[in-house]
A and B are shown apart, each in its own frame.
Chain A
Amino acid sequence: MGGMNDEAADRREIEALLPWHAAGALTLQEARRVEAALARDPELRRSFEAAREELAGVVEANEALGTPSPHAMDALFAKIDHEPRPARAIRAGLFAGLAAFWASLSPRTLAWAATAAALVIALQAGVIATGVSRPGRPAPTYATASATPPAPAAPGLYALVRFSPKATGAEITAALQANQAAIVDGPTAGGLYRVRLAPGPATPERRTELAARLQAAKGVDFAAPAQ
């Protein structure tokens, strides 16, 4: 009697899991348990078939809901641009780069770096003293040796693109040429490139359309409109 009750409870438990089994959202262990029960219970199999049909219906119903307009993305990123930077970003900006740099140096390198820094300070002191001693001289403008003036963002439409790891150079070139696109930045850590899209009216609709066209090109894994 107790055995029959256990069996019934076990069956109810398995039946409750069928929707998750149909969706592939069970652990391997649970899925095996459900599969074993399905193999010996025709009624459970019928219930599972029904679950699969329900799944197809739910997916279809969701697909029929369409997609949000590109305006939603523009509105979101316009808001983000007016947001203060996240607190963690500010902390990271101040300290993380510096900490990572120092951590990467060996003790010997650190010793050399300290000596070099002392020399630079002494040299700067000399330069400042010379400057101060010649009051009539015009103040020089400042630029680091590696600096190039920041390019103003060129007008136009942009997209983020990730190429397939197997894409050949010819495929990448063809994808860019066919869409009159040019890489302007990248790759990022995620392997994304920023590309300028074909010249023309800078409307959100056109940006979405061009990004979709690029997404469809051979050798392109991912493309999305970008600022």
Chain B
Amino acid sequence: MSTTSDEALIDRIANGDRLAMQVLYARHHVRVYRFIRGFVRNEATAEDVLSETFLDVWRQAGRFERRSSATTWMLSIARFKALSMVRRRTDEALDEDAAARVADTADDPEATLAAADRAAVLRRCMANLSPEHREVLDLVYYHEQSVAEAARVIGVPEGTVKTRMFHARKNLAGLLAAAGLE
């Protein structure tokens, strides 16, 4: 099946094509939303950031120069918007973050039951990684960004992305070992 490429859609969006915008949104909103949730835990706030991100896509489409893929470009915008939102709401975000961490590490019967599931343990360990390490794991494993693309989204050199990924994996392995998984 031949589909219109993201880049072609962005070109049409730059010419004010609302329909192209709807198609681009339909294609990417779930993944972009999940990327934003890595920074913003509150669902309603994440939806606000999602809306701001795609509004920027609409406004900036004419400036998209295809130096990166459309996905990389949109994730870069989403990251900037999410971090701006977190900075605006530092106190709230810290509270939410603390609450989430308490929930992540809670040693209740439900958690113990979930711990029997290897995947669940893996998820819980990932939740306890630093935001930088979680971000690089998300960008590579879920958003399938290359070294160069992940570097562009985060705004660091490619070597830094590799190093960060190395440490993310090492820390994750440590957390898994502590949880009884090798």
Contacts of B101 in A (CB 8 A): none
Q: How many A-B residue pairs have CB under 8 A?
A: 155
Q: Residue A195 at the B interface, CB < 8 A?
A: no
Nearest Cβ in chain A — how far from B157, in angstroms? Answer: 14
Stretch at the interface among B14-22, B79-87, B90-98, B105-113: B14-22
Are B146 and A222 touching (Cβ within 8 A)?
Answer: no
Cα–Cα, bound, A69→B25 (Å): 13
Interface size on A, residues (CB 8 A): 59
> Shortest Cβ distance from B28 into chain A, in angstroms?
11
Name the prevailing secondary structure of the B interface residues.
Answer: helix
Q: A57 near B29 (CB under 8 angstroms)?
A: no
Q: How far is the CA of A190 from the CA of B140 in the complex (A)?
A: 30
> Given that A19-B169, A24-B144, A72-B29 are contacting pairs, would A160 and B22 also be in contact in the complex, using a CB cutoff of 8 Å?
yes
Binary contact track B57-76/A, C-beta < 8 Å → 1, others 0? 01101100000000000000
CB distance from A217 to the nearest CB of B (A): 16
Q: Which of A17, A26, A51, A88 has the most CB of B within 10 A?
A: A88
Contact of A72 among B3, B22, B51, B144 (CB under 8 A): B51
Residues of B within 8 A of A226 (CB): 19, 22
Question: Would you call A164 and B58 a contact (CB within 8 A)?
Answer: no
Q: Which residues of A contact B20 (CB under 8 A)?
A: 190
CA–CA, A177 and B179, complex, Å: 54
A86–B1 touching, CB < 8 Å: no
Q: Which of A34-42, A73-81, A141-149 contacts B (4 or more CB under 8 A)?
A: A73-81
Interface string of A62-104 (1 = CB under 8 A from B): 1011111101110111011001011111101100000000000
B21, B50, B142: which has the most chain A beta carbons within 10 Å?
A: B142
Alpha-carbon distance between A22 and B20 when the two chains are bound, in angstroms: 32
**Cα separation A160 to B54 with both chains bound (whole Å):** 19
Residues of B within 8 A of A188 (CB): 19
Chain A residues with CB below 8 A from B51, complex form: 72, 75-76, 79
B16 touching A61, Cβ below 8 Å:
no
Q: Top 8 nearest A-B pairs by Cβ distance?
A: A89-B16, A57-B122, A224-B26, A58-B141, A190-B4, A72-B47, A88-B62, A55-B141
Beyond A16-B165, A72-B33, A77-B22, 12 additional pairs, beta carbon < 8 A? A15-B166, A16-B166, A23-B144, A26-B146, A54-B141, A65-B37, A67-B30, A71-B47, A79-B55, A80-B55, A83-B59, A189-B12
| Contact surface of B with A, Cβ cutoff 8 Å | 1-4, 9, 12-16, 18-23, 25-26, 29-30, 33-34, 37, 43, 46-47, 50-51, 54-55, 58-59, 61-62, 119, 122-123, 126-127, 137-138, 140-142, 144-147, 149, 162, 165-166, 169, 172-173
Give A contacts to B, CB under 8 Å. Answer: 15-17, 19-20, 22-26, 50-51, 53-62, 64-69, 71-73, 75-77, 79-80, 83, 85-90, 92-93, 160, 162, 164-165, 188-192, 221-222, 224, 226-227
